[in-house]
Amino acid sequence: MPVDLREENEGRILLVRVSGKLTQEDYEQFAPEVDRLVYKYGKISILFEMHNFHGWDAGALWEDTKFAWHHFRDIERLAVVGEKRWQKGMTEFCQPFTMAEVRYFETGQAVEAHAWLQGVTAQT
């Protein structure tokens, strides 16, 4: 399965690890979890980590569009951790589609991404 979900910070941060190519079925797993956390906590933050990620199929692109529209105001911060130039570009492209503060981090900066979501500067 290309999607792994884990709650952190008592559910206020959702860690989403993806690999391979996302499908519509992956969103059927992911979206209800976000809905549940938003219902419970209000705004949440998401740490989206991509490893060996190859994008979305057509069904997943449609689900992603619906997800962004539905959760436009629900995500406070979105940290994207990637390993490819196009993933950084994708992060910049998605900023107008959310009220979230969005930041891209390279793969080796996962600790900094996590600290940023918590509003803390990582110790070096």
Look at residue 84 in the predicted model and tell me its pLDDT. 82
Average pLDDT of the chain, as a whole number: 85
Cβ proximity of 45 and 67 under 8 Å: no
pLDDT in tens, 40-70: 998 999 999 998 888 888 888 788 888 888 8
Whether 101 maps to a domain, the answer reads yes
Is 124 contained in some domain? no
CATH of the domain at 59: 3.30.750.24
Query: Is residue 49 included in any domain, yes or no?
Result: yes
pLDDT tens track for 7-36: 988 888 999 999 999 888 988 888 899 999
The answer for residues whose C-beta is within 8 angstroms of residue 58's C-beta and 6 or more apart is none
Based on the structure, what is the number of domains in the chain?
A: 1
Could you tell me if residue 40 is inside a domain? yes
Q: What 3-state DSSP class applies to 105?
A: strand
Question: Which domain does 28 fall in, by range?
Answer: 3-118
